[in-house]
Amino acid sequence: MPMETINAVLKAMRRCGTTARQIAGVRGREDRRLVLTRLFLLFLPICFQGCAVPRLGPRPSATKDHAFITYWPAGNETGKLRLAVKDVIDMKGEVTTAGSQYLAGTNKPATRDAKCLAPARRGNVHIVGKTNLTEFALGTSGLNEYYGTPVNPLAHHRIPGGSSSGSAVAVASGEADVAFGSDTAGSIRVPAACCGILGLKTTFGLVPLDGVFPLSPTHLDTIGPMAADVPRLVQGMELLNPGFSARYRAAATPAERITIGRLYLDGTDKRIDRALDNALNAKGFRVIPLDDRFKAAWREAQANGSTVAIADGWLSNHKYLGKLGVSLTTQSAIQLGQIQLNTAYKGALKARATWRQTLRNVFEHVDFIAMPTMQTLAPRKPLFGRSALFEARVLGLQNTVAVNYAGNPAIAIPIPLRGRGLPVTSLQLVGPNLSEPRLVNAARLLASRETNPTLENAR
């Protein structure tokens, strides 16, 4: 970024006296970084005078709900699992668009499948299409300016969450039994939370990334399944990690033998915290609160994880700056990554080992860590479309990127919610590396309407 651009942003920030005083009063280096990030996004028009933007009005996607970019309905193929695939995953003969008008017009069809699709090709599976997403997977709102925003079936006026918005909507609306998504900073769990389904972020490195559009391939990127119920989620994991079904059955453990460390985070809607506590207590889990020291470490990991995600977004995607058909909001997110790369990136990567050790220490005393997937219900869609400021707002609501920063697995689980708004919220369970079978078992216990469910009841 040119120095005069940075100076223009800083000059505008200095004029904003109230905000500057707020920054000075923020506790902790990680909180200041988050505030500065949001301020930078507020002044992005200074940085992008003359940048290309997509044409007005979304291009019609393959389905009315904008869940799919390409759609091949199953028809009469009864008995086959209907699988939707996020359009960052290469499929032979198909163009991988990553939700972008630019890539839709310039990319050539893939010459081979992504490696993670191999088990699905061998199984009794019908791929029903490639799903929509936030452009380049750079954003947590799930909005897409070109293909249209996937419609959240729980509430049409609320965001579907992203970036795997099409995958979540395809499952929640019944257009697919299972969907594959990618998760760099919460892109499976956030849309799962917004749309009231299950979403599993896998251990970093468990599922191969060959043939997947990169965002942070060396640090954060993962592929995982999304489904409306546990049996389907197990089928999805079996496709990504053959042999998972047997490991899941072997992991069956009753709730009273599972210890959960409960993390309470500032800014969370009190109704959500109550709903999560009620659900955990009703099933008989042993729950212990985690202390303020761990909460502070979590908050710092959230900030560091965001830094890595944003900076890696620059490293992977800066070649698309100025390209006709790449949205202004996406370009602003990419440009922000250059600032993070030149300032906080090295320090964030260096601090990762300490965070991983902190989690290992906690997992010596508990089986999982529990918290809300998001601090609030899914926000309402913005009146005037996607913007950098709105993306920053949604990013600030997630409790997910600290997990990617460590590389651990985590699952988003829908939990009933009373009162106005949406009928469900979402609980995130974080586990040790390679604990996916045990995480899904815990989801089965929480999803069951029985007080003491058995594995047989969930089949």
Return the half-sphere exposure (C-beta side, CA atoms, 13 A cut-off) of residue 286.
9
Burial 279-292 (b: 16+ CB within 10 A, else e): bbeebebebeebee
Distance between CA atoms of residues 236 and 120, nearest Å: 9
Quick check: is 64 catalytic? no
Residue from 156, 99, 134 nearest 391 by CA: 134
Which is the catalytic residue, given 86, 130, 283, 381? 86
Q: Which of 100, 182, 187, 306 is catalytic?
A: 187
Rounded Cα distance between 136 and 334, Å, is 10
Is 187 annotated in the active site?
yes
Alpha-carbon span 3 to 23, nearest angstrom:
22
- Residue 455: burial class (beta carbons within 10 Å; 0-12, 13-18, 19+): middle
Task: Please give the DSSP secondary-structure letter assigned to residue 116.
Answer: G
- For residue 45, give the DSSP letter: G
The strand pairing partners of 118, in sequence order, are none
Check 163, 165, 167, 182 and give the catalytic one.
163
Strands 424-430 and 368-372: antiparallel
Are 442 and 254 in contact by the 8 Å Cβ rule? The answer is no
**450: its two tokens:** 């029985």
Name the residue among 334, 332, 293 with its Cα closest to residue 310. Answer: 334
Supply angle C-alpha 424, 429, 430, rounded to 5.
150
- What is the C-alpha separation between 385 and 141, in angstroms, rounded? 11
The answer to whether residue 245 is catalytic is no
Q: Which residues contact 62 (CB under 8 A, 6 or more apart)?
A: 68, 69, 70, 71, 129
Burial class (CB in 10 A: 0-12, 13-18, 19+), 238: buried
Which H or E run contains 239? Answer: helix 230-240
Looking at the annotation, which residues are catalytic?
86, 163, 187
